[in-house]
Amino acid sequence: MTNINETMQFHLENLEKASTREILMEVYMALQEKGYNPINQIVGYIMSGDPTYITSHKGARNKIRKLERDEILEELVTCYLKQ
């Protein structure tokens, strides 16, 4: 029997963190499926930080909130300049 006063540590194994690009693509698709203009909605979210710009369809709002807005901008600028 373990002592309940001891500190316990839980490890989550085999969980991969989705890349910024993957999350953006999933959010883009969810916005498109709901009939929104994905570019306008994502720009609105980046500029304001207001998560209501992103639909909750397919968990898109929760996914994008896992990212920092500067991470999103970095990914977008990097992708744009590589093309």
Instruction: Look at the block and give the residue holding tokens 């194994």.
Output: 13
- Does residue 3 lie within any of the structural domains? no
Instruction: Note down pLDDT in tens along the chain; length 83 residues.
Output: 566 777 766 655 544 567 999 999 999 999 999 999 999 999 999 999 999 999 999 999 999 999 999 999 999 999 999 97
- Does residue 7 lie within any of the structural domains? no
- Does residue 50 lie within any of the structural domains? yes
For residues 63 and 52, give the distance between their C-alpha atoms in angstroms, rounded to a whole number: 13
- Does residue 6 lie within any of the structural domains? no
- Does residue 73 lie within any of the structural domains? yes
Q: Which domain holds residue 78?
A: 20-82
Residue type for position 68: E
SS3 content of the chain, % helix, strand, coil (to 5): 60, 0, 40
